[in-house]
Amino acid sequence: MANIITKVNRAFDNPTSIQPWLETNRRKVARWIGRREIGPLLGGLTAGVFDWNAYTNYLAWRGSTELVVREINGSDMVLDPKMSGISQELIMYGGREELSASLYQQELERLAAESNSPVTALEIGANIGYYALLEANVLGDSGRILAFEPDPRNIEILSKSIDRNGYGDLIDVDRVAVGDSDGSVTFNLLPLSNKSHVDEESFTRKHDIERQVTVPQKTISTVLDEKGIEPDAINVVRMDVEGYEAQVFRGMSDVLESDQPLVLFFELHSSRLDDEAMERIFRTLEDANMEIVAVTDLEGPMWYEVQLPWDSFDELREIDDTHSVHLILRRTG
């Protein structure tokens, strides 16, 4: 009850926040009722009042090693109710970033239909596989997904989903960070597994860190050379690297400099990038002849997004540093 009182007091202190808060919770309740999902509904209500989710805690209580399986985007996805972040969000809502995911799926389908050769995707920051599984489901036997994820907690869950769906021949998983140099880096593990990131002084908040581990880092150029894959064979790049975007792009210049068709989908963490890094990213994309397909922004719940009316890099340059946006771009070749 103290939690709801605190929220009410904050609302009175900042009246402009009342309407967005009400709209966010209206969408959540409407989604659960529309899907007849009583467990998530009760969990959401208890989380709102007591800051304690009865549903996910019940699922975790059933067994210390028991996992949950949900069908999401056409694949069975293994989820851990004890893991804060994406796992719990998908258990509660059955999806996330749904507008971006739908637009991205359309680009994958278009690319697969137009391509005369197998589609090879780079999945950088694969986490527990929300997008890797979508890619495998859409591309099928005509696709190959090279997934990179340095967090061992995420890899364990992702591997279970790959095995459950029989995607072992489609998805290769490397436990490495991707950046602009080869070697090792400090990786910050956060309670929210999808917020873990390579340690960068510019945006690390020490109180958020659960623990730090040293992980190998490679450039995409190095990985492709080791696997015997030509840079112009890469058709898709999807990444979410929590503010490490500029470094990843520097390490995959040969992919970006290719003249082959390419779909690029990534989250731009403007709140974690300074002006110089942002400009470097935009110039890299312009030099690679990438054109903007869509820009989306979360509005309220983690699944609900709106498409922003931006179609130029000059408009993107005006973005503020208070939030992140998803960018879907293409190069037609």
Whole-structure pTM value: 0.89
Q: pLDDT tens digits, residue range 137-172?
A: 999 999 999 999 998 889 999 999 999 999 999 999
Span 67-74, average pLDDT = 95
pLDDT range class, residue 187, cuts 50, 70, 90: confident
User: CATH 3.40.50.150: which residues of the chain?
Assistant: 98-331
Residue 65's φ and ψ, nearest 5 degrees, are -115, 5
pLDDT range class, residue 202, cuts 50, 70, 90: very low
The answer to whether domain 98-331 has CATH 3.40.50.150 is yes
CA trace torsion 308, 311, 315, 317 (10° rounding):
100
pLDDT range class, residue 15, cuts 50, 70, 90: low
- Extract long-range pairs of 221-225: CB within 8 Å, 24+ residues apart: 221/251, 221/252, 221/253, 221/254, 221/255, 222/182, 222/251, 223/146, 223/148, 223/174, 223/176, 223/178, 224/254, 224/255
